[in-house]
Structure 1
Amino acid sequence: MERRPHVVAIPFPAQGHVGPLLKLSRQVAHHGIRVTFVNTESVHARMLEASGDDDRRWDGIEMVTIPDGMEEVKDPRDIEKVAAMRAKVMSRHFEELLRKMNSSRDERVACIVADATLGWAFEVAEKMGIKRALFWPAAVPGLVLSLSLPHLVEAGVIDDCGFAPSDTAIQFSPKLPAVKAVDFVWRCPGDQRMQEIVFRHAMGVTKPVRISNWLLCNSFYELDPITCGLIPELLPVGPLTSTDCLGNFWAEDRTCLNWLDLQPCKSVIYVAFGSLAAFGQNQFEELALGLELSGHPFLWVVRSGFTDVDKIKYPDGFLERVSDRAKIVSWVPQEKVLAHPSVSCFVTHCGWNSTMEGISNGVPFLCWPCFADQFYNRSYICDVLRVGLDLKAEEAEIISRHKIQAQLEQLLSDVQIKENAERLRGMARRSLSEGGSSSANIQHFVEQLKRCSEAVRHCD
């Protein structure tokens, strides 16, 4: 029997990275490629718990785990030590896994597909003579910016800690809007040390890109052809979507879908801030009261850890007053929610996965970024794609209930934003259809993997 090409995929161990790479892995597997997906032990345990131990959704992908060394880190909030320990422990175990696979003719690895932030994974594969595909799970302009950083630092535009004057604007092309300092991917308001750490990670992308054989990203060419053209070798393979919400770390509350079925078409405000964002109690209460003042039905995801107090505390009487038009849950099957005809708009932190899922379903955005690339994504959504509005919060400012209400009303009455969102939905769907740009890029990648595997077979 002919041996299938074998690909090993490894994500950065976080919700927003695991999900899209798992979706890409499943698409590759559907083209006849054998895929082994490598999670950390803790991440895989969370995914199994969230899915109720139903492993059918892996759909033929082989799941394996490696340790991450976190039990040796005294303070899991120390991001720098966490990153160093993960690199030390995971790289060793990843190399052992690849060597074990390559010791068997039937398991030899043709290629690894790794998250762009895992520089050590590319170094391990290069040392072993295994082909390498880099996966960029964020917006394409963020990759362009990361690859430009050595030059920008050398030119003195940005210092070696990632800081630049507030009026700094970087123009990559006359046809593109400038990237402002306020939208830098590594921007962490109020946390200088975190900003420096994230900046170093952004700088670290350069080498993995240089030693990769393929560059894949969760976008589609038609969304941003000019920026994609700045990296000619880039293969946009998105939007990476899945109706069964692959890679969740939290159990989905599917009662929200039944609730949505009872709501009028285009009436529901969907509110979700991803897996990491957290609000202070005062801001949480203003958000709750702003949703109440809107007068619209709303579906609100309030996961554990969403506020800075031990127990979620709503404004007095809030739950009783909105009980006839609100559904509040801890996690949802987001792609099913965004595809539901009852949903009118999406109040979002502007994470790239949420952005792509909203675009794929033609849903307008009310943008409320919290950290990292979310600030740029906000500008991209509002100023470039023109499918959303910005709450325009100043740093350390509480956004009032009245501003939330006013922006929601403006968004819901903006006909042009709705038309733009519907146009992008059609573009996203066509890119994934047979002959579409992303579909063709996946096919191209798969065909090259098969040729690569054939070369490995002849070397046996």
Structure 2
Amino acid sequence: MQAAKQQYRAQILQKKKKKMPLPHAVLITYPTAGQLNPMLQLAQLLHSQGFYITFVNTEFGYRQLLRGNASLDALFGRFNRSSFRFVSIPDGICESDLQGPGYLLNVWFSIVRNCPAALHELLLELNSSPDVPRLTCIITNFLVTFPRDVADRLGVPELVFWTTSACGLMASLHVRELVRRGYVPLKDESCLTNGYLDTAIDWIPGMKDIRLRDISSFIRTTDRDDFYLKEEMEEADYALKSQGLILNTFEGMEGEVLDALRGFFPRIYALGAIGSLIDQISGSAATTTPMRLGSWDEEEEEDRRCAEWLEAQQRGSVVYVSFGSITTLTRDELAEFAWGLAESGRPFLWVVRPGLVEGGIEALPGGLVEETKGRSLLVKWCHQGKVLSHPAIGVFLTHGGWNSMMESVARGVPMICWPGFADQYTNCRYACKHWGFGMEIEEEVRRGQVTEVVREALEGEKGEEMRKKAMEWKEKARRAAAEDGTSFTDLARLANDLTQLTTNTGIKQTKHTPS
């Protein structure tokens, strides 16, 4: 692998000397923070390997990108402007689409209606433009399932970046089989509470000790035509027809399921933890700024407040609380978490982002701030990578989304998981049962359990075991991202494979054997 990597770098250097066209990757992302951030990181990795990058966003996502980086110039500071450009396509999303609990569906339908034709036109234009290298490949986010026909028309291979865990993907691949075998849809609503979800599912390749409740939340429906259930199956089918699969995971963490996935995909590239890989290549930590949700000045101030507050806390004493970019809580759930944290007596930093709960940060119960004065900090945004890297953080209370989980793994921080959407149940099961660095809070959250779990995670025997496991996984993630680690070599292999592409030959049909 080392020889292949050196040969690839020599080829790129030679092309630059001869002023040969660079390989050109077009990356197409779904416009939510949980999808946009890892796609930006993938773009950064490919750019570091000598690729010309065209990063395609929808207009909605592009506005978020600009808002979160103060200006396009600020964002471009991380990239070579002559070989990395951002473009946007119309999506028809307006502010009214983003209001209320159904906003995710509004965004989805607007994109499906408005983006395909514009994307096709853009790709055709890019491939014939004298100002950019001809397209080498198209890489799509797994939620964007409409570029394939134009990729086929251009003769350009299409790869899929699946941003869940490998286990989450494997579970998604078998949702259709769950339907065929009669597990799904549920017979009636009582199946959610009568123990039916504890049914063992022991036939999914590479996955052990899995119950029905550990599969995607989208199977928890009584409607065979449920939108999310159907999309889960269609997205998995779409990925299966791609010419390559990219994952934010690493061999040492999900090797068994990755081996099983190789029976479904012609080639797999495991680049996780993707943030650690960027740090390794760039030589510095926290090189990628996550998507922001408010104004630049406001969130710079939040970032400063977090840093100052954490400096005043004891090592390993703080509960960091964040439920990601799309999770929503009821006011009752918010109150249970708030008073559970307060009654634990431990310091906590809580990200109460706009949209987490109706009323925002003002919805927190009266008296909470006074009750926890001096040991709590409530913010609307923080740089999660920086916070998790701080030695004061003792545990991460999270929804269990895969981006957050990989950030936590890379920094050796144990987790308290409260899953509620999509693959979060799968991630939680593996964190608690198989990887050993997690504890779970029950779906119907109660303040007493929150208090108990927080205290155990920070001071109990279980917490000590979790911290030990978390540090072991941190070291495994570091080794994977290091030169000659599995993720580093997979990146070199991905870059090498992509540069060998032509419109006629496609990717070489080779299997990868883990080192």
Q: By the TM > 0.5 criterion, same fold?
A: yes
> Which residues of 2 match residues 155-194 of structure 1 at below 5 A?
155-159=181-185, 166-172=197-203, 176-187=207-218
1:386 counterpart SS class = coil
> Which residues of 2 match residues 107-186 of structure 1 at below 5 A?
107-159=133-185, 166-172=197-203, 176-186=207-217
Query: Aligned-pair distance for 1:301?
Result: 0.4
Gapped regions of structure 2 (runs ≥ 5): 1-18, 279-285, 506-515
Q: Partner of 2:89 in structure 1?
A: 66
Query: Aligned-pair distance for 1:102?
Result: 0.9
Aligned mates of 2:390, 2:68 — CA distance in 1: 22
The reply to whether residue 41 of structure 1 matches residue 87 of structure 2 is: no
The reply to whether residue 434 of structure 1 matches residue 452 of structure 2 is: no
Q: Partner of 1:228 in structure 2?
A: 258
Aligned mates of 1:188, 1:278 — CA distance in 2: 19
Change (3 A) 1:72 1:16: closer
Query: Aligned-pair distance for 1:151?
Result: 3.7
CA deviations on 1:431-455 (whole Å, 9 max, x unpaired) are 1110000111111010111111697
The question of whether the paired residues in 2 share the 8 Å contact of 1:264 and 1:342 is answered with yes
Q: Partner of 1:390 in structure 2?
A: 440
Give 1:69's aligned amino acid: G
Change (3 A) 1:309 1:235: same
1:307 counterpart SS class = coil
Aligned mates of 2:211, 2:77 — CA distance in 1: 41
Aligned mates of 1:236, 1:187 — CA distance in 2: 25
Q: Partner of 2:510 in structure 1?
A: none
**How many residues were matched structurally?**
451
Give 1:236's aligned amino acid: A
1:35 counterpart SS class = strand
User: Aligned match of 2:397 in 347, 371, 382?
Assistant: 347
Aligned mates of 2:259, 2:447 — CA distance in 1: 42
Aligned mates of 1:316, 1:125 — CA distance in 2: 55
Q: Partner of 1:94 in structure 2?
A: 119
User: Aligned match of 2:76 in 56, 64, 67?
Assistant: 56
2:25 counterpart SS class = strand
Aligned mates of 1:186, 1:88 — CA distance in 2: 26
Return 411-420 or 439-448, whichever deviates more: 411-420
Change (3 A) 1:327 1:436: same
1:205 counterpart SS class = helix
Q: Partner of 2:271 in structure 1?
A: 237
The question of whether the paired residues in 2 share the 8 Å contact of 1:117 and 1:201 is answered with no
1:224 counterpart SS class = helix
1:347 counterpart SS class = strand
Query: Aligned-pair distance for 1:24?
Result: 1.0
Relative to the length of structure 2, the TM-score reads 0.81
User: Aligned match of 2:40 in 22, 25, 30?
Assistant: 22
Q: Partner of 1:212 in structure 2?
A: 242
Q: Partner of 1:284 in structure 2?
A: 334
Give 2:116's aligned amino acid: S
Q: Partner of 1:408 in structure 2?
A: 454
The question of whether the paired residues in 1 share the 8 Å contact of 2:409 and 2:477 is answered with yes
User: Aligned match of 2:366 in 285, 308, 316?
Assistant: 316
Relative to the length of structure 1, the TM-score reads 0.91
Give 2:31's aligned amino acid: P
Query: Aligned-pair distance for 1:16?
Result: 0.7
The question of whether the paired residues in 2 share the 8 Å contact of 1:188 and 1:371 is answered with no
CA RMSD, 1 decimal: 2.7
1:249 counterpart SS class = coil
Change (3 A) 1:245 1:298: farther
Aligned mates of 1:249, 1:161 — CA distance in 2: 41
2:197 counterpart SS class = coil
Q: Partner of 2:508 in structure 1?
A: none
Gapped regions of structure 1 (runs ≥ 5): none
2:53 counterpart SS class = strand
- % identity of equivalent residues: 29
